[in-house]
Structure 1
Amino acid sequence: MQILENYNLAIQQNIFGYITKAAKELKVDAFVIGGYVRDYILERGTAKDIDIVAVGSGIALALKVAEMLPTKPKVQVFKTYGTAMLRYQDIEVEFVGARKESYSEDSRNPKVEEGSLQEDQNRRDFTINALAISLNEDSLGDLLDPFGGVDDLKSKLIRTPLNPDITYSDDPLRMMRAIRFATQLNFQIEKESLKAIARNEQRLGIITRERVMVEVNKILESPVPSLGFLLLEETGLLQQILPELTDLKGVQEVEGQKHKDNFYHTLEVVDNISGYTDDLWLRWAALLHDIGKAPTKRFSKKIGWTFHNHEFVGSKMVFKLFKRLKLPLNNKMKFVQKMVLLSSRPIVLASEVTDSAIRRLVFDAGDEIESLMTLCEADITTKNPNKFKRYHNNFKLVRAKIKEVEERDKVRNFEPPITGEIIMKTFGLEPCREIGQIKDFIKESILDGMIPNEYDEAYQLMLKKGKKIGLLPNG
């Protein structure tokens, strides 16, 4: 099957032309393979990375191509893996020699030997990633599809080239990749392949958390992340990765009173927010915003099911979760913590919008106030159209009030106009707890609207507070 006849992407055609010439000169066969071919057939846009297989030395081919290119790009060589990589006009091209692999029980790192193109395609994870296009002069553009990958693309199917139990047991990361591709492409995982993932889910334990989280993040960055998380839950993988989420699953009923299934609600929130933001960490906040509900769930005969302080408990859980999963323990983690902690505040405000409550919200959220409002709006999952409209209208009022208060009182990330140094100088103090008491009193007074956020009023309040706790100004 000839597939490159309408090939008109100049940059890629150019790099392929050089590869064809270099392969001919070295007397090796070369093929573009994998994701580039898949996405080219699916017309998913211009690829930024290309995988080249040489039946021979991939490193030698990379070096020859770099030598021929006018830009003479530097070639990164990875001798351990027999691979090489170069960059050309914003495209990353990786070269590898065709190989066959064999695995041991306790590792996903295979024993590698030189092989044929067929053996190289055999080792690929899915039929849609085993597609190859010839870059050889005598068969340029021919598609090699030994496992029916094109038919699977048409059928929107994720299927392994060989026995799925062997494929997933050999390299358990492929289970995550299957779900990730199904989510990104909106494909189905072939029935036997899906069962094999469930049978082999415990094998995921040999994969590093870092590699697993790369796949989880890609699922979370997909257009409809719930597709992936539902598959992770169905196959048992989610219980291994994020038991805090699976703990939310299920509905309990006591004395005729039920609570909603917070697992499925969470996935709705994640899908909702994905329609408004590509921010991975805000999507993480949506995924984790209710994780405190499982440990705080209680039933009261007077008021029914409660989840008191679930935001606070959930924000504390975020640190342990990020640490366990090897996610970044930096400002990204702190951002997610803040979003989880504040996730219910605008919802409470929506029923009674007061200036003081808005000031405190803006102060506590700081520069993340817009992200917080986006999260809260995504949290509206009611199927009642009247309630849906009312809740969103309430949030419009909150947003308008935030803008009004922010413009007037300027409390976002504010520091009280009276500093610790001013307090120490005024009262002749060394560092002591009274300084903190005065600063906090001034800050709270500004947030409560007792005084404006201005120096003179704050200075007078400092004197009054100082007098009340037994401090007199110098002189």
Structure 2
Amino acid sequence: MISSKPLDIPCSLQERKMLEKIALAAQDLGVPAFLIGGFVRDKLLGRRTKDMDIVCVGDGIALAHKVAESLGNKIPVSFFKTYGTAQVKYNDLEIEFVGARKESYRQESRNPEVTAGTLEDDQNRRDFTINAMAISLRDADYGTLIDPFDGISDLDNKLIRTPLAPAQTFSDDPLRMMRAIRFASQLQFTIDPVAFNAIKENADRIKIISQERITDELNKIMLSAKPSVGLDLLYKAGLLKIIFPQMVDLVGVEMYEGKGHKDNFYHTLQVIDNISAHTKDLWLRWAALLHDIGKPATKKFEPGHGWTFHGHDAVGGKMVPRIFSRLKLPMNEKMKLVKKLVELHLRPISLTKENITDSAIRRLLFDAGDDIEALMLLCEADITSKNKAKVKRYLENFELVRKRLKEVEEKDKIRNWQPPVTGEIIMETFGLNPGRVVGELKNAIREAILDGIIPNTYDAAYAYLLEKAGELNLSPVK
């Protein structure tokens, strides 16, 4: 039997029943078992979670199989004998099982040498006090919180601390530096000053961590409710200049002849916070992060005018694939979206001026396609002025642009448009092979439609094709 004492954390009925099954299975095997880590932390914080971590003083894989057996219906167990870990998925719960262990590290690697250990050993090896709390599943003290490092107080005080000496904790596994900053960003917690100094002292150790793991943590920071918290901590800790030096190039204000430009790093952090208030899309947040990445390369002081960054949109767009490749981000449609938004982010601003032609609107619709709403969202996020009247005016101007975009799209159907006369039709009409002439004729038709010279119809486009072909002394084949 399991004690009727309630758990020290709030759980759903399904979760309580699962923990009781785990406790009974552990009792049958004669191994003490404990619920530990993120599930305990998040339940105490009132955050939603479905991942349970179970540590037992014994064979974690055997316990996983015993639990799966008790659930019936041939629940599969995924296990990794080398690491002594196993996973069981049941309904919407994902339960990880592992034997309690003790770890020791070598200077050149974050992969520890592991030996069997006690619950105390296992809690000692945890990264932060808030992740070292455990709930006993033993019959004698079922449901009791075991909190040797007073993680519960750190939750109350919104503090990130390490169970043991922070310098050793971060040197042993440098990825924990990224995790500390990620938790601070996700939870809006403060990193203990002693721990933060240890991160700064050990920042160079991040170089032994694989890029994939670094980027995984970086993406989790980017998905925080307020990504600027984590990004600013990465900068102040000295990690950002190692893992993402192009961002650090944005830092600072340069003065010349009494004129300075805004700090493009902190402007960028504000832009990503602005867009994050409206979307959880990771790639739109990356577009916000990279929208001004070309400014350091294009910065120039023009006497009588001040600082300029002409062409930073185009330069930034060219930088995007290199940055994605270096950070091991996906080199697919996601990268192309970010590149497109960086390249186009100044275009809607130019459309806020008076007397903008339908041609300019058509071209933006054509170039942006289905990403026009994402682009407008980025442009609105790019307004970071502290002058409320100015912000109001800019937002009203963007609303006028949205109205014009809608009107022209409804009239001309340009979004995701392809010219009605294709390259194949041109080659067939004039007996041409693929080449420069076909491209020139196709571009001429496209430009004529975008400029409003001819309507967006097949007949008008074909008639214009015959006219332009005649200028090149081309005649239709019979």
TM-score category, normalised to shorter length: over 0.9
Q: Shift in Å at residue 72 of structure 1? A: 2.9
Match of 1:424 among 415, 422, 427: 427
Q: Partners of 1:181 and 1:230 in 2: how far apart?
A: 13
Match of 1:327 among 307, 319, 329: 329
Equivalent residue, structure 1, for 2:44 = 41
Match of 1:415 among 396, 415, 418: 418
| Cα deviations by residue, 1:104-160 (Å, 9 ceiling, x for unpaired) | 000000000000000000000000000000111221100000001000000000000
| Cα deviations by residue, 1:251-281 (Å, 9 ceiling, x for unpaired) | 0111111111100000000000000000000
Which residue identity is paired with 1:320?
R
1:318/1:336 contact within 8 Å kept: yes
Equivalent residue, structure 2, for 1:277 = 279
Equivalent residue, structure 2, for 1:365 = 368
Which residue identity is paired with 2:466?
L
Q: Shift in Å at residue 434 of structure 1? A: 1.2
Equivalent residue, structure 1, for 2:34 = 31
Match of 1:467 among 470, 475, 478: 470
Equivalent residue, structure 1, for 2:357 = 354
Equivalent positions of 1:129-140 (< 5 A) are 129-140=131-142
| Cα deviations by residue, 1:176-225 (Å, 9 ceiling, x for unpaired) | 00000001000000000000000000000000000001110000000000
Equivalent positions of 1:389-408 (< 5 A) are 389-408=392-411
Q: Partners of 1:161 and 1:397 in 2: how far apart?
A: 56
Equivalent residue, structure 2, for 1:344 = 346
CA 42–3 in structure 1, closer or farther in 2 if over 3 Å, else same: farther
Equivalent residue, structure 1, for 2:193 = 191
Equivalent residue, structure 2, for 1:207 = 209
2:55/2:98 contact within 8 Å kept: yes
Q: Partners of 1:327 and 1:3 in 2: how far apart?
A: 45
1:11/1:89 contact within 8 Å kept: no
Equivalent residue, structure 2, for 1:50 = 52
Equivalent positions of 1:137-216 (< 5 A) are 137-216=139-218
Equivalent residue, structure 1, for 2:73 = 71
Which residue identity is paired with 1:422?
I
Identity percentage over the alignment?
A: 59
Equivalent residue, structure 2, for 1:227 = 229
| Cα deviations by residue, 1:73-116 (Å, 9 ceiling, x for unpaired) | 10011011110001011111000000000000000000000000
Q: Partners of 1:103 and 1:295 in 2: how far apart?
A: 42
Which residue identity is paired with 2:378?
L
Q: Partners of 1:283 and 1:409 in 2: how far apart?
A: 31
Does the residue aligned with 2:35 lie in a helix, a strand or coil?
strand
Q: Partners of 1:19 and 1:139 in 2: how far apart?
A: 15
How many residues are paired up? 473
Q: Shift in Å at residue 289 of structure 1? A: 0.4
Q: Partners of 1:358 and 1:376 in 2: how far apart?
A: 15
Equivalent positions of 1:71-150 (< 5 A) are 71-150=73-152
Q: Does residue 454 of structure 1 match 2:418? A: no
Name the stretch that deviates more: 49-58 or 69-78: 69-78
Q: Partners of 2:208 and 2:8 in 1: how far apart?
A: 44
Which residue identity is paired with 1:23?
A
Match of 2:296 among 294, 297, 314: 294
| Cα deviations by residue, 1:31-71 (Å, 9 ceiling, x for unpaired) | 000000001111112x2111000011111100100011133
Match of 2:447 among 420, 437, 444: 444
Per the normalisation by structure 1, the TM-score is 0.98
Name the stretch that deviates more: 145-154 or 300-309: 300-309
Name the stretch that deviates more: 397-406 or 102-111: 397-406
Name the stretch that deviates more: 264-273 or 432-441: 432-441
Does the residue aligned with 1:200 lie in a helix, a strand or coil?
helix
Q: Partners of 1:346 and 1:5 in 2: how far apart?
A: 54
Q: Which residues of structure 2 form unaligned runs of 5+? A: none
Which residue identity is paired with 1:97?
G
Q: Partners of 2:468 and 2:238 in 1: how far apart?
A: 59
Q: Does residue 385 of structure 1 match 2:423? A: no
Which residue identity is paired with 2:107?
E
Which residue identity is paired with 2:397?
N
1:358/1:402 contact within 8 Å kept: yes
Equivalent positions of 1:251-262 (< 5 A) are 251-262=253-264
Q: Shift in Å at residue 427 of structure 1? A: 2.0
Name the stretch that deviates more: 103-112 or 11-20: 11-20
Does the residue aligned with 1:453 lie in a helix, a strand or coil?
coil
Q: Shift in Å at residue 432 of structure 1? A: 2.9
1:35/1:129 contact within 8 Å kept: yes
Does the residue aligned with 1:287 lie in a helix, a strand or coil?
helix
Q: Shift in Å at residue 369 of structure 1? A: 0.6
1:3/1:143 contact within 8 Å kept: no
Name the stretch that deviates more: 429-438 or 285-294: 429-438
| Cα deviations by residue, 1:413-440 (Å, 9 ceiling, x for unpaired) | 1111111222122223233321111110
1:7/1:13 contact within 8 Å kept: no
CA 96–6 in structure 1, closer or farther in 2 if over 3 Å, else same: closer
Match of 1:12 among 8, 12, 15: 15
1:359/1:411 contact within 8 Å kept: yes
User: RMSD of the TM alignment (CA)?
Assistant: 1.1
Q: Partners of 2:249 and 2:10 in 1: how far apart?
A: 50
Which residue identity is paired with 2:206?
L
Which residue identity is paired with 2:387?
N
1:100/1:115 contact within 8 Å kept: yes
Q: Shift in Å at residue 169 of structure 1? A: 0.1
Q: Shift in Å at residue 470 of structure 1? A: 1.5
Per the normalisation by structure 2, the TM-score is 0.97
Q: Which residues of structure 1 form unaligned runs of 5+? A: none
| Cα deviations by residue, 1:161-183 (Å, 9 ceiling, x for unpaired) | 00000000000000000000001
